[in-house]
Amino acid sequence: MSVLSDPGTECLAELAALLGGRMTQNAAIRERHGTDESFHPTAAPDAVVFPRTTEEVAEIVRICARHGTPVIPYGTGTSLEGHIAALRGGISIDLGQMDRILRVGAEDMDCTVEAGVTRKQLNAYLRDTGLFFPIDPGADASLGGMTATRASGTNAVRYGTMRENVLGVTAVLASGKIVHTARRARKSSAGYDLTRLFVGSEGTLGVITEVTLRLYPQPEAVAAGVCPFQDMEGAVNAVITTIQMGLPVARIELLDEVQLASVNRYAGFDYKVAPTLFLEFHGTDAWVKEQSERFGEIARDFGGGPFRWATEQEERSALWDARHKAWYANQALKPGSRGWATDVCVPISRLAECILETKLDIEESGLVAPLVGHVGDGNFHLSILVNPDDPEELERAEALNDRLVRRALAMDGTCTGEHGVGYGKMGYLREELPDAVPVMAAIKRALDPQGIMNPGKIVPSEP
């Protein structure tokens, strides 16, 4: 059955009958639900619905399935590769009203939340339990969205990504059936790993409505620090050595001198303008001290220093706040511009080479493109600042992105370390995993034969 681009009055009438005022065709709301934080053009859905339960989501999907209407799950709209664009129209399912924390198992260090709960909301809730959820992609994204896009961020070098920290999901399939992918045991060998299949599926296999997450004890002691380097090569080689020596850094973030200047200007800091590492160690007092000193020795060997250490919560918050403001700081760096965000990830042995070549490429392109990276994983980002009304500049940005991705692929890396595929990187996915994409497409067709689940993302929806 082909997908209708017009959901039809009947479908909308059935949704209205189910949801009343929690379905809308308001133009501004539709527009917002078809716009992410990237440079991809807006593609508004025909209507937006606001379910409150998994059962309601199931009923919505059943209605849409009967009419062959596309369904696009929406969390907070902070994705970066066009994930939420309603490329073929259809219904945006906004999970924002599903924001209940259903259960915290302090003894088991896990919790179950509805998909619309954001990471900051969860951590505020957990504050008094001695536990926290570490995955931190920067934006205060919903945990359902973070699951669907396999988010990671600054803490991944220590705690892993959503892949390692989602213990199970509840999802609504294209048929409107509800699936629970796992029980609550910490590990299991019981059947195919459907949890990991839904993590990173970007709404193309089902709508994630609940997630069970792994939690961690809040560290007894935390030390954060900022360490400038004489050059980029020294900074990257210090990271590589740190990882290879097995130093358990909780965060190790690289900002190039352009990004550092941008953050300084935006947030009123006075860090030295140089390639700089932001670090954090978690543990006991003695451990944090020992590991920090070890890192200090490594940094000195590679032309790094002097450090600024921050052990007080307030100071640390300011530091990470500065790091998280990078994205917004950049918009201010070139007024009127927007950031074309892209990320790649390479084997860490190739990281220095990849970053240095990319820096040269940026310089030659004449573009402004601050570089920031979760370099402990070999992952880094460009935020290419472009004037949205300048087609020539847009073209140059696209070409720079293209060269970046191909450079990473040539180094046996991936076209995206954490932003996901959406529709922006579908072509690169085929280049990266040419014999795997047909397998993904076969799975897509098996679970969504009509092709109604977020069509046009990751793999083609059509047989």
Rounded-to-integer distance, Cα 334 and Cα 405, Å: 24
Which CB sits closer to a second copy, 103 or 308?
Answer: 103
- What does the DSSP 8-state code read for residue 2? P
Please report how close the Cβ of residue 17 comes to a second copy at its closest, in angstroms.
27
Between 72 and 205, CB nearer to a second copy: 205
Q: Rounded CA gap, 427 and 198, in Å?
A: 21
CB of 283: closest distance to a second copy in angstroms? 8
Q: How far is the CB of 148 from a second copy (least distance, A)?
A: 10
| C-beta of 104 vs 367, nearer to a second copy | 104
CB burial readout 278-301, b (16+ within 10 A) else e: bbbbbbeeebbeebbeebbebbee
Under DSSP, the state recorded for 147 is H
Residue 21 vs 463, nearer CB to a second copy: 463
> At closest approach, how far in Å is the CB of 359 from a second copy?
20
Q: How far is the CB of 199 from a second copy (least distance, A)?
A: 7
**Measured from the CB of residue 192, what is the shortest distance to a second copy in angstroms?**
5
| Shortest distance, position 149 Cβ to a second copy, whole Å | 6
Pairing of strands 101-105, 110-114: antiparallel
Nearer to a second copy, 240 or 263 (CB): 240
* CB closer to a second copy out of 68 and 160: 160
The DSSP line for 364-419 is: HHT-B--EEEEGGGTEEEEEEEE-TT-HHHHHHHHHHHHHHHHHHHHTT-BS-SSS
Nearest approach in angstroms of CB 30 to a second copy is 27
Closest to a second copy by CB, 99 or 108: 108
Distance from C-alpha of 70 to C-alpha of 451, rounded to nearest angstrom: 8
Q: Please say whether the dihedral angle defined by the alpha carbons of residues 173, 13, 29 and 101, taken in this order, is positive or negative.
A: negative
Distance, CA of 455 to CA of 70 (rounded, Å): 7
CB of 375: closest distance to a second copy in angstroms?
Answer: 11
Report, in Å, the least distance between residue 154 CB and a second copy: 13
Q: Toward a second copy, which CB reaches closer, 6 or 285? A: 285
Report the alpha-carbon distance of residue 319 to residue 54 in Å, rounded: 39
What span, in angstroms and rounded, lies between the C-alpha atoms of 119 and 134? 9
Cβ-based nearer residue to a second copy, 99 or 164: 164
- The single-letter DSSP state of residue 136 is -
Residue 377 CA to residue 350 CA, distance in Å, equals 12
Cite the DSSP H helix spans in 156-303: 156-159, 162-165, 194-198, 232-244, 257-267, 285-301
Nearest to 169 by CA among 145, 191, 138, 141: 145
E strands in 161-256: 166-172, 178-180, 207-214, 216-217, 221-228, 249-255
CB of 404 to a second copy, least distance (A): 14
Residue type, 181: T
Q: Which one, 26 or 53, has the nearer CB to a second copy?
A: 53
* Nearer CB in complex with a second copy: 54/337: 54
